C-alpha cells in the first residue's frame, strides 16, 4: 500500500441520528425541539445581512459570551462558546484530557465521548450504570484523568441531584469534572451554583434543545477563567472564527428572551409528563426522565421491530444497537399532536 494511504488516521466515527425528510413525518429521533426558536431570532433571520458576509465574524464572540454571562450571572471570562456543544466538548477533550490516566464516563451515555477519546488518543474506562440505569457516584471515587457525564444522562433521561455530583467533585479535587447539561432545562438541576466552590468543574450547555436552535449550532461551557483561557488558547490554535455572524446575532437574541425559554420548556415538560402516563398505560416501562425524551421498553415487544414499524409509518424514533439497551427506544418529546399520532399508532400496534 502507498505510504500516504497507510498514514491515514483510522477512526470509527460517531453516527448521528437519521435526518429523514418527508413532508408528513413525525420526527422524534434526535431530541430536537418541536417548536420554533424565540420570535426575535426569527426576526434576525428575516433581515438580510448578506452585505456583512464579506467580513469575518468576531473571533471572541464577545456579544454572545456577554449575553450568556449575564443570563447565568457569571463573568464573561467564565464563558466559552463553540459550534454546538459537540464542538465545545471536543475542545474540552483536547485541552484537558492529556494525561496518561484514563478518563471516566458511564457505559451507557452520549456515544460521542469514546469517539473523541479514540480521535485524540485519550485513554478511558467506562463505569457501568446500575440495574436501574443510574450513574453510581462511588464508581468515580478513584484516580482518573478526568470525568465527564451528561446530567440528565442520555439516553436514559435520568437526572442526578446536585448533592450527588458534589460528592463526585469532593472525591476528585485533582481532576476536571465536566457536566454535560444538554438537557438540563427540562427539569434537571444545573450544577452552575457549584462553580464558586469547585474550580475543577466545567459545565457545558447547548442552544440545540431547549432553545430550539439545533440547526444554528451554538454550544457553550462555563468554568473557572483559567480553564476558559486554556480552551481559548486551543481554539485559536485550531480555528479562530468558529461561530459565524448569523449564529452570533441569533444566539444573542435567543438568550435575551428568558420568558420564551421558560414558557416553551414548560410546554415540553407538560407533554412529557402526559406521555409518561399514556405510555405506562400501554405497558411501556421507562426510567423517570427529566429531559425532552423518554427511554422506553415493552415486555411484550421487540424494540427493533417496533422501531422499524414506526419508521414505516414515518414516525422516527431512535434505536441503539448496543449491549444492554437493544430492547429500548428513545422517543423525543414532540408537540401534543405529534405525540397523539404516536399513541394512536402504538395502540394499534400493541393490539396485534
Nearest to 85 by CA among 219, 229, 235: 219
Whole-number minimum distance, CB 261 to ligand PMP, in Å?
16
Q: In the chain, count of helices (H) and strands (E)? A: 11, 11
Q: Which residue is nearest to ligand PMP (CB)?
A: 84
Looking at beta carbons only, is 86 or 189 nearer to ligand PMP?
86
CA–CA distance from 128 to each of 13, 15, 125, 137, 280 (Å)? Answer: 22, 22, 10, 11, 26
**Nearest distance in Å: CB 50, ligand PMP:** 26
Between CA 261 and CA 220 the distance in angstroms is: 17
158 binds ligand PMP (CB under 6 A): no
Could you tell me where the DSSP H helices lie in 237-257? Answer: 245-256
User: Interface with ligand PMP includes 181 (CB under 6 A)?
Assistant: no
Would you count residue 185 as binding ligand PMP (CB under 6 A)? no
For cell 427539569, the residue is: 187
Task: Work out which of 146, 187, 219, 334 binds ligand PMP, going by CB under 6 A.
Answer: 219
CB 224 within 8 A of CB 211: no
* Residue appearing with cell numbers 400501554: 282
Q: Considering the complex, state which of residue 19 and residue 344 has its C-beta at the smaller distance from ligand PMP.
A: 19
CB of 226 to ligand PMP, least distance (A): 24
Regarding 154 and contact with ligand PMP (CB under 6 A), the answer is: yes
Q: Does 106 bind ligand PMP (CB under 6 A)?
A: no
Residue among 32, 86, 185, 189 that touches ligand PMP (CB under 6 A)? 86
Is position 175 an interface residue for ligand PMP (rule: CB under 6 A)? no
- Contacts of 24 by beta carbon, 8 Å cutoff, 6+ apart: 314
User: Looking at beta carbons only, is 85 or 172 nearer to ligand PMP?
Assistant: 85
Amino acid at each position: 500500500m502507498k505510504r500516504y494511504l497507510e498514514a491515514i488516521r483510522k477512526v470509527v466515527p460517531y453516527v448521528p441520528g437519521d435526518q429523514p425528510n418527508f413532508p408528513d413525518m413525525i420526527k422524534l429521533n434526535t431530541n430536537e425541539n418541536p417548536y420554533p426558536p424565540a420570535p426575535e431570532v426569527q426576526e434576525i433571520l428575516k433581515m438580510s445581512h448578506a452585505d456583512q458576509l464579506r467580513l469575518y465574524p468576531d473571533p471572541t464572540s464577545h456579544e454572545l459570551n456577554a449575553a450568556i454571562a449575564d443570563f447565568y450571572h457569571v463573568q464573561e471570562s467564565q464563558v466559552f462558546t463553540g459550534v454546538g456543544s459537540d464542538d465545545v466538548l471536543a475542545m474540552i477533550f483536547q485541552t484537558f484530557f492529556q494525561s496518561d490516566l484514563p478518563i471516566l464516563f458511564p457505559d451507557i451515555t452520549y456515544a460521542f465521548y469514546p469517539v473523541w477519546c479514540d480521535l485524540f488518543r485519550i485513554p478511558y474506562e467506562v463505569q457501568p450504570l446500575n440495574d436501574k440505569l443510574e450513574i453510581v457516584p462511588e464508581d468515580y471515587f478513584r484516580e482518573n484523568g478526568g470525568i465527564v457525564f451528561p446530567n440528565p444522562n442520555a439516553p436514559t433521561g435520568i437526572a442526578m441531584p446536585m448533592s450527588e455530583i458534589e460528592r463526585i467533585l469532593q472525591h476528585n479535587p485533582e481532576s476536571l469534572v465536566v457536566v454535560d447539561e444538554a438537557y438540563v432545562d427540562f427539569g434537571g438541576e444545573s450544577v452552575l451554583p457549584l462553580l464558586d466552590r469547585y474550580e475543577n468543574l466545567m459545565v457545558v450547555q447547548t442552544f440545540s434543545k431547549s432553545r430550539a436552535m439545533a440547526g444554528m449550532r451554538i454550544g457553550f461551557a462555563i468554568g473557572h477563567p483559567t480553564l476558559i483561557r486554556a480552551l481559548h488558547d486551543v481554539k485559536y490554535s485550531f480555528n479562530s472564527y468558529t461561530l459565524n455572524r448569523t449564529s452570533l446575532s441569533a444566539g444573542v437574541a435567543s438568550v435575551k428572551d428568558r420568558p420564551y425559554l421558560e414558557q416553551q420548556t414548560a410546554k415540553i415538560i407538560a407533554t412529557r409528563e402526559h406521555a409518561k402516563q399514556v405510555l405506562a398505560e400501554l405497558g411501556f416501562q421507562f426510567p423517570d426522565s427529566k429531559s425532552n425524551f423518554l427511554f422506553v421498553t415493552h415486555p411484550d415487544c421487540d424494540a427493533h421491530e417496533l422501531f422499524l414499524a414506526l419508521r414505516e409509518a414515518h414516525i422516527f424514533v431512535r434505536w441503539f444497537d448496543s449491549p444492554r439497551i437493544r430492547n429500548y427506544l428513545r422517543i423525543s418529546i414532540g408537540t401534543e399532536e405529534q405525540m397523539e399520532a404516536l399513541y394512536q399508532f402504538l395502540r394499534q400496534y400493541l393490539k396485534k
